């Protein structure tokens, strides 16, 4: 399968290229989440003359992308950064992008590498979950479990994990950390088991681990900041494509694209319209695009993917 170097199988490949192909001829396409380079390779292959700015906050991902995109080295620049930082840089001298792609969340490699602590297969895995690795600094999942108060833990489990037992789980975490600080996945799995009063299934565990990952990496704030920066870094006619895997992310993208496509985008508190009533661009996906049954059969991890696209006006 395409892009299946074993690192990550890219989702909605044809759709991503179909939208990005329609951008202007000048400028770069920023792949803000290059991962193993699956989408970037297809862009370079199918959009003649395209140039890619390949961004990822994870140094391992960038190393893999450098390898997988080697044959196009003259057309790719690599940057280890958060995509919101990269978007700020791309717009600093005025619009410079013919397109941008965000394929949010984590790659299969990150999930499958036990030492990164994103998954719960191995009880011995450290509760880390930092996409930028240890060198990137910041709080680990263990830091959050050991330091946040019960209210904040409840919010994280409920809001980011949609966990119905969020309050009970937060209480259990606070109780347990008094005698033994959280370090390994097994300790969190034990707390989840007690709260569920039965052996939790994979979905129960995944919701809690996902919630912690989103908190550790400040994922929603990164997306919220990146969207308007990317919009403003697009050249006229440039296209922004976002693939989300979480309902909160998808809602944020949907709202942003809709509001930029309305004729007046002034904040409601402004008494007069200052944007002169012209939409900033056009929504390219009236309804969200999801993987086909065929893609789902080949790549079950694509099941929660939701794609939306928007084009900047001329």
Ligand X SMILES: C[S@@+](CC[C@H](N)C(=O)[O-])C[C@H]1O[C@@H](n2cnc3c(N)ncnc32)[C@H](O)[C@@H]1O
Residues that bind ligand X (CB under 6 A): 3, 8, 10, 32-39, 55-58, 61, 82-83, 103, 105-107, 131, 222
Whose Cβ is closer to ligand X: residue 15's or residue 172's? 15
Q: Which of 286, 292, 291 is nearest to 309 (CA)?
A: 286
**What is the closest distance, in whole angstroms, from the C-beta atom of residue 94 to ligand X in the complex?**
23
**What is the closest distance, in whole angstroms, from the C-beta atom of residue 294 to ligand X in the complex?**
18
Whose Cβ is closer to ligand X: residue 33's or residue 154's? 33
**What is the closest distance, in whole angstroms, from the C-beta atom of residue 312 to ligand X in the complex?**
21
Tokens in use for 89?
């840089």
**What is the closest distance, in whole angstroms, from the C-beta atom of residue 23 to ligand X in the complex?**
18
What separation in angstroms does the CA of 293 have from each of 39, 131, 235, 290, 299? 20, 30, 35, 9, 10
Nearest residue relative to ligand X (C-beta): 35
**What is the closest distance, in whole angstroms, from the C-beta atom of residue 246 to ligand X in the complex?**
12
**What is the closest distance, in whole angstroms, from the C-beta atom of residue 255 to ligand X in the complex?**
19
Whose Cβ is closer to ligand X: residue 58's or residue 128's? 58
Q: Name residue 309's beta-bridge partners.
A: 241
Burial letters for 152-167: b for 16+ Cβ neighbours within 10 Å, e otherwise?
ebbbbbbebbebebbb
Tokens in use for 292?
């086909």
Whose Cβ is closer to ligand X: residue 115's or residue 264's? 115
Angle between helices 202-216 and 185-196 (to 10 degrees): 130
Specify the pairing of strand 281-283 against strand 306-312: antiparallel
**Structural contact between residues 144 and 156, judged by C-beta atoms closer than 8 angstroms:** yes
Whose Cβ is closer to ligand X: residue 34's or residue 227's? 34
Specify the pairing of strand 97-103 against strand 306-312: unpaired
Whose Cβ is closer to ligand X: residue 36's or residue 237's? 36
**Residue count (the chain):** 314
Tokens in use for 225?
């900041």
Whose Cβ is closer to ligand X: residue 10's or residue 200's? 10
**What is the closest distance, in whole angstroms, from the C-beta atom of residue 149 to ligand X in the complex?**
26
**What is the closest distance, in whole angstroms, from the C-beta atom of residue 34 to ligand X in the complex?**
6
Q: Which of 301, 288, 308 is nearest to 105 (CA)?
A: 301
Cα 221 from Cα 215, distance rounded (Å): 10
**Structural contact between residues 313 and 278, judged by C-beta atoms closer than 8 angstroms:** yes
List the strands of the sheet with 281-283, edge to edge. Answer: 76-80, 52-56, 28-31, 97-103, 234-244, 306-312, 281-283
- DSSP character for 121? S
Whose Cβ is closer to ligand X: residue 17's or residue 127's? 17
Other C-beta atoms closer than 10 Å to the C-beta of 303 total 12
């Amino acid at each position: 399968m395409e892009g299946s170097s074993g690192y990550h199988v890219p989702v909605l490949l044809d759709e991503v290229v179909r939208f990005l192909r329609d951008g202007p001829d000048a400028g770069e396409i920023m792949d803000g989440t290059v991962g193993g380079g699956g989408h970037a390779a297809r862009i370079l292959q199918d959009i003649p003359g395209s140039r890619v700015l390949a961004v990822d906050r994870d140094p391992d991902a960038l190393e893999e992308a450098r390898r997988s995109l080697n044959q196009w080295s003259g057309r790719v620049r690599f940057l280890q950064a958060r995509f919101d930082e990269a978007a700020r840089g791309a717009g600093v001298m005025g619009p410079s992008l013919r397109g941008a792609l965000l394929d949010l969340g984590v790659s299969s490699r990150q999930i499958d590498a036990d030492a990164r602590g994103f998954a719960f297969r191995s009880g011995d895995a450290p509760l880390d979950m930092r996409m930028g690795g240890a060198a990137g600094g910041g709080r680990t999942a263990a830091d959050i479990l050991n330091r946040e108060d019960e209210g904040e833990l409840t919010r994280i489990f409920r809001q980011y994990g949609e966990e119905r037992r969020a309050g009970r789980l937060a209480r259990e975490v606070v109780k347990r950390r008094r005698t033994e600080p959280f370090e390994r996945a097994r300790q969190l799995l034990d707390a989840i088991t007690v709260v569920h009063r039965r052996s939790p299934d994979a979905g129960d565990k995944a919701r809690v681990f996902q919630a912690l990952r989103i908190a550790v990496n400040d994922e929603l704030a990164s997306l919220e900041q990146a969207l308007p920066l990317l919009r403003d870094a697009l050249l006229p006619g440039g296209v922004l494509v976002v693939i989300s895997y979480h309902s909160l992310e998808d809602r944020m993208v949907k709202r942003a694209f809709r509001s930029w496509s309305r004729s007046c985008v002034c904040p409601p508190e402004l008494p007069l319209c200052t944007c002169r009533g012209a939409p900033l661009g056009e929504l390219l996906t009236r309804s969200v695009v999801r993987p086909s049954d065929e893609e789902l059969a080949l790549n079950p991890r694509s099941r929660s993917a939701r794609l939306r696209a928007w084009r900047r006006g001329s």
